[in-house]
Structure 1
Amino acid sequence: MLPSHDRFPYSPIVGRPDFAWPGGKRLAVYVALCAEHFAYGSGLGLPYSPGLSHPNSYNWGWREYGNRVGGWRLIELFDEYRLPLSVLLNTECYDHCPDLVAAHRRRGDEIVAHGRTNSEHQNGMDQDAERRLIAEATAAIRVNEGVQPGGWMSPGAHPSANTEDLLAEAGYTYTLDWPIDDQPVWMRTRHGPLLSIPYPHEVNDVPMIVLHDGTASAFADMAIDNLEEMLLQSERQPLVYGLTIHTFIVGQPFRIRQFRRVLDCLNRHQDKIWFTTPGACARHYAGLFPASQAFNDKV
């Protein structure tokens, strides 16, 4: 037998019960905007200029552009289109660029915990160190937003084998760390169930643009094609379409110009779409399919 995570059993999407999102909609759509802060002189994070030694102002400055400019332009863009955002937040942003976080607070955007900084990854930490990381990020959001965050996305999309257990222990209800499905999936942890909400591994500006050298127009085409195909598939069963962008990547002016095509397409199909957040998806799905029912059906 191959080693297993033992978090959830295999389940083919074609064999699941039917349901609907609020308003009878069949496709739930959320846009995740990653707002991140990186340590100066650190080698972790995306390299704009691979191979250069640190400290590297070119690399750090590329990502800092998102906090100073790109993030603000994306807020203006989503205000223009009257669409919600789900902010995957490095909590170091509360100290570094509090005005940017406050602007999302005024919009009513969901704040999803995204660790302290993308200059550190949980995988490789011992449990006590990872528990402290989660506790510090959680406390920062609770203090600044006045609410317990419901969802988590690990920095660098790099959780450890213990992350789900520690998240449930800390009171989280869902994770975005597992790009495994187009519907929510219940996961087992040592501290009770945790919901995995669909998160995009492909329709994500990091792999498409940074890692695969995709153009701004190609990323927009991908996002539009994914939407239109999922609209067809959602006629048969309800789905979740998550789309991930970063302040310093799509926040560049030439990419915003192309990304407008994506938002135009979303608005053209607004009668068929539930524009939402991963937290709202988690609450709705959990209300329809409690974890106890899912585990009883599968175990």
Structure 2
Amino acid sequence: MHSEPQNAAPSIHRTAFDALPVHGRFGYCAIIQRPHYRWPHGAGLAVYLGFNIEHFAFGQGLGARLGPVCPEPDVLNYAWREYGNRVGAWRCLELFDSLGLPVGVLANTALYDHCPELIAAFVARGDELIGHGHSNAHQQGTLDEAAERALLQHCRSRMQTHSGQAPTGWLSPWISESFATPDLLLESGYRYTLNWCHDDQPTRMKTRNGQALWSIPYPQEVNDIPMIVARQMDGKDFAQLIIDNFDEMLEQSRKQPLVMGIALHPYLVGQPYRLRHLRRALQHIAQGRDKGDMWFTTPGAICAYVDGLESLK
């Protein structure tokens, strides 16, 4: 009988080196191997603003923080976030108006109880409403399937009732998903998700009923939360990041269509000194729009456009 040497390495289960678990929503496809198409009027780059207006429970739940975590009620951090609804969002709205920029508004439905006039101001501009949960004090991925479906249906129903439009797009609070989220989104009437940041082009995602849910690129780099809060980037540097990203993607888009999102939160970029720098960045992009270099649009318009392209079906 053969005996294994005492100093031999222990045997390793073969499955340790098998292919890793995958989500099964879409396969790998390199950016250089895609079908060719252009955006409206021959543009190569589509740019949108994802403007997050959010409400947080007082004395409980999650929320971005300016200072150290304090025992609840955490007045410092709660009040800092509320500045965005009372002041910052209105200053940003003035800026968007001055440049004639459409906005994709990612809104918590709790705002209808707290400050409905804020949502109404964007609706009056003709902006797109995008589902963003009831409150950003809670993570969606912790819900069971029934509760998650109820959340998705509630947000569509309440926006339809109060604003006259049911959202076709969704961004989960804290970008928190369950394994069933894409399926539930499609089954609840949504056409696209902004949760995934894996690409610079829209991606068709498979769902359990055989229909496709679009993933529209949503940024985690051109995004004030991870840049300013997590990485403590200064406002002028974040503005330069937006400009540099736009200029580089505009050059890349000469060869293929691309999507650039800009994710903003008014309690951050609505602070006066940051707004000054954001103004400079958006003026730069607006100049590109005025020259016909790109398509300034909304996520919903991007979804509708690619959904109608035969080359992507």
**TM-score with structure 2 length normalisation?**
0.91
Q: 1:200 aligns with which of 219, 227, 230?
A: 219
Q: Is the 8 A contact 1:43 1:54 kept in 2?
A: no
Q: Which residue does the alignment assign to 1:281?
A: 302
Q: Which residue does the alignment assign to 1:155?
A: 173
**Alpha-carbon distance in structure 1 between the residues aligned to 2:215 and 2:310:** 13
Matched, 1:164 2:185: no
Q: Which residue does the alignment assign to 2:62?
A: 44
Gaps of 5+ in 2: 1-18
| CA-atom RMSD in angstroms | 1.1
**Alpha-carbon distance in structure 2 between the residues aligned to 1:219 and 1:74:** 16
Q: Which residue does the alignment assign to 1:219?
A: 238
Q: Which residue does the alignment assign to 2:11?
A: none
- Aligned-pair distance for 1:51? 2.5
What are the superposed Cα offsets for residues 226-276 of structure 1, whole Å, 9 maximum, x if unpaired?
A: 000001000010100100100111011110001111111112211101010
- Aligned-pair distance for 1:58? 0.9
- 1:23-62 alignment, distance < 5 Å: 23-62=41-80
SS at match of 1:269: helix
Q: Is the 8 A contact 1:45 1:156 kept in 2?
A: no
Query: Which amino acid in the other structure matches residue 29 of structure 1?
Result: V
Q: Is the 8 A contact 1:114 1:152 kept in 2?
A: yes
- Aligned-pair distance for 1:43? 3.7
Q: Which residue does the alignment assign to 2:157?
A: 139
SS at match of 2:278: helix
Q: Give aligned pairs, total.
A: 292
**Alpha-carbon distance in structure 1 between the residues aligned to 2:59 and 2:140:** 19
Q: Which residue does the alignment assign to 2:10?
A: none
Q: Which residue does the alignment assign to 2:191?
A: 173
- Aligned-pair distance for 1:96? 0.6
- Aligned-pair distance for 1:2? 0.9
- Residue identity over aligned pairs, in percent, reads 49
**Alpha-carbon distance in structure 1 between the residues aligned to 2:73 and 2:63:** 13
Q: Which residue does the alignment assign to 1:250?
A: 269
Q: Which residue does the alignment assign to 1:230?
A: 249
Query: Which amino acid in the other structure matches residue 249 of structure 1?
Result: L
**Alpha-carbon distance in structure 1 between the residues aligned to 2:244 and 2:166:** 36
- 1:172-191 alignment, distance < 5 Å: 172-191=190-209
SS at match of 2:219: coil
SS at match of 1:141: helix
